């Protein structure tokens, strides 16, 4: 069953492995017999009616929101703001005339997000919750819910819920585009199926990622993740995964920001994990890699097929350029997992953390 580890040593590893299955389940659940997107008509209408979307979330779900913004803006042409739930009410942005609030939460119980939901409901604004737990507080209290269908996620560090969030947000973005009559040369179900296959192929090569964890993270106290464009957001999630379970101090940076401060921290042997999945920024991120190597860093480059260069540590199978975050996070999840394992950390129950945080 979903809440048994079976032959797996940890829930986290099991949940990482379940990601292709979860994507295929999402494809099924969000498609009708005519291969059209199947979505609650009220959600479709709310997306059509709003003039701006405010995504509110915490932790890994916030990182999924950063990617979701790209999908909704690029596909549906609706402006999107993404906010950390705990900060939102201190400096509430000036709201648009017809805002739609989208709460992304694996558990549906995060108190920081709920506090914002209560506040925005009081202001009379519609709310959509995207969650893995349909009966949860955030689901019940919002007007609409989209279900992630990821199955119970037990490990504290979120993996399959994050990839499910991105997949559902991609579908939502395309559905809204369709509803608005925007013509897209992009079939989300077909592209997500390609992503699922790519993830499956990678999950079969675990020893590669265990070796990378050995090579780059065995004794280090810190680690940097760099990326540009959409890769930057994935790097931030990679850093969170590594911090959460291995306690290695990690930070994700935009490649272009390195020179504005962070590069001062690069020393002999500092691990820098770089993502290179976007053609438009391949040269510039490669430039950043050279800059850190010149200062002694141990650079681990994870690139995408077609953009690879000699010496890259891993080349991801090719998927649609906008969906790369769903595949590029998998090596980062597995490298974090093995780094934590090699340090004898409690992978599923890291110190000081809770699966759902029900206090503000
Ligand atoms: C906790 C968990 C994180 C999670 C965050 C948001 O801090 O440890 O893994 O990303 O809450 O949780 P949610 O259930 O709202 O997605």
How far apart, in whole angstroms, are the C-alpha atoms of residue 42 and residue 134?
A: 16
Mean pLDDT of 226-241: 98
How far apart, in whole angstroms, are the C-alpha atoms of residue 183 and residue 186?
A: 9
Determine the distance separating the centroid of ligand 1 and the alpha carbon of 351, expressed in angstroms: 14
**Among the atoms of ligand 1, which is closest to the Cα of residue 161?**
16
For the Cβ of 156 lying below 6 angstroms from any atom of ligand 1, the answer is yes
C-alpha R_g of the chain: 20
Indicate which residue's Cα is closest to atom 8 of ligand 1. Answer: 355
For the Cβ of 357 lying below 6 angstroms from any atom of ligand 1, the answer is yes
Q: Which of 74, 180, 349, 355 is catalytic?
A: 355
Please give the angle made by the CA atoms of 187, 192 and 197, to the nearest 5 degrees: 135
Residue 15 predicted with pLDDT over 70: yes
Please give the angle made by the CA atoms of 99, 192 and 281, to the nearest 5 degrees: 75
How far apart, in whole angstroms, are the C-alpha atoms of residue 232 and residue 253?
A: 6
The β-bridge relationship of strands 222-227 and 271-276 is: parallel
pLDDT of residue 359: 87
The residue count of the chain comes to 360
Percentage of residues of the chain with pLDDT beyond 90: 95
For the Cβ of 139 lying below 6 angstroms from any atom of ligand 1, the answer is no
Active site residue 98: no
pLDDT in tens, 77-127: 999 999 999 999 898 999 999 999 999 999 999 999 999 999 999 999 999
If pLDDT is split at 50, 70 and 90, which confidence band does 250 have?
A: very high
pLDDT of residue 2: 63
For the Cβ of 59 lying below 6 angstroms from any atom of ligand 1, the answer is yes
Residue 176 predicted with pLDDT over 80: yes
Verdict on whether the full-model pTM lies above 0.90: yes
Residue 17 predicted with pLDDT over 80: yes
Indicate which residue's Cα is closest to atom 15 of ligand 1. Answer: 105
Mean of the per-residue pLDDT values of the chain: 96
Indicate which residue's Cα is closest to atom 11 of ligand 1. Answer: 356
pLDDT in tens, 50-86: 999 999 999 999 999 999 999 999 999 999 999 999 9
If pLDDT is split at 50, 70 and 90, which confidence band does 48 have?
A: very high
Residue to probe by mutation, ligand 1, list 15, 60, 109, most atoms within 8 Å of CB = 60
pLDDT in tens, 304-330: 999 999 999 999 999 999 999 999 999
For the Cβ of 110 lying below 6 angstroms from any atom of ligand 1, the answer is yes
Mean pLDDT of 167-172: 98
| Structure tokens that stand for 98 in this block | 């017809």
Mean pLDDT of 9-24: 97
- In this structure, the dihedral spanned by the alpha carbons of residues 166, 169, 173 and 174, taken in order and rounded to 10 degrees, is 70
Q: What is the ipTM of this complex?
A: 0.98
Mean pLDDT of 236-250: 98
For the Cβ of 58 lying below 6 angstroms from any atom of ligand 1, the answer is yes
pLDDT of residue 1: 53
pLDDT in tens, 266-298: 999 999 999 999 999 999 999 999 999 999 999
Residue 10 predicted with pLDDT over 90: yes
Residue among 44, 273, 254, 22 nearest 150 (CA): 22
How far apart, in whole angstroms, are the C-alpha atoms of residue 264 and residue 114?
A: 39
Residue among 289, 325, 284 nearest 169 (CA): 325
Mean pLDDT of 135-159: 97
**Among the atoms of ligand 1, which is closest to the Cα of residue 354?**
8
């Amino acid at each position: 069953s979903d809440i048994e580890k079976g032959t797996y040593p940890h829930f986290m590893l099991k949940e990482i492995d379940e990601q292709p299955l979860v994507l295929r389940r999402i494809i099924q659940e969000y498609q009708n017999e005519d291969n059209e997107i199947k979505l609650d008509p009220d959600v479709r209408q709310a997306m059509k009616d709003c003039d701006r979307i405010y995504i509110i979330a915490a932790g890994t779900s916030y990182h999924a929101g950063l990617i979701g913004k790209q999908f909704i803006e690029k596909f549906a042409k609706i402006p999107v703001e993404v906010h950390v739930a705990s900060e939102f009410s201190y400096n509430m942005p000036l709201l648009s005339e017809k805002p739609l609030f989208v709460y992304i939460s694996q558990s549906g119980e995060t108190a920081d997000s709920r506090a914002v939901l209560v506040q925005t409901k009081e202001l009379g604004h519609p709310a959509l919750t995207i969650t893995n737990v349909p009966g949860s507080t955030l689901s019940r209290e919002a007007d609409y819910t989209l279900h992630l269908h990821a199955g119970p996620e037990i490990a504290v560090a979120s993996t399959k819920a994050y990839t499910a969030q991105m997949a559902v947000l991609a579908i939502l973005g395309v559905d809204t585009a369709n509803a608005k009559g925007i013509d897209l040369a992009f079939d989300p179900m077909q592209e997500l199926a390609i992503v699922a296959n790519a993830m499956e192929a990678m999950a079969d090569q675990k020893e590669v990622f265990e070796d990378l964890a050995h090579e780059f993270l065995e004794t280090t106290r810190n680690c940097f993740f760099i990326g540009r464009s959409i890769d930057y957001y994935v790097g931030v999630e990679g850093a969170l995964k590594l911090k959460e379970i291995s306690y290695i101090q990690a930070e994700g940076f935009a490649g272009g920001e390195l020179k504005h401060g962070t590069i001062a921290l690069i020393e002999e042997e500092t691990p820098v994990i770089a993502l290179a999945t976007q053609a438009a920024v391949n040269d510039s991120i490669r430039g950043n890699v050279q800059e850190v190597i010149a200062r002694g860093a141990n650079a681990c480059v994870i690139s995408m097929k077609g953009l690879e260069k000699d010496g890259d540590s891993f080349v991801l199978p090719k998927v649609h350029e906008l969906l790369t975050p769903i595949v590029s996070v998998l090596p980062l999840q597995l490298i974090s997992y093995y780094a934590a394992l090699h340090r004898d950390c409690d992978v599923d129950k890291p110190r000081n953390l809770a699966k759902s945080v029900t206090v503000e």
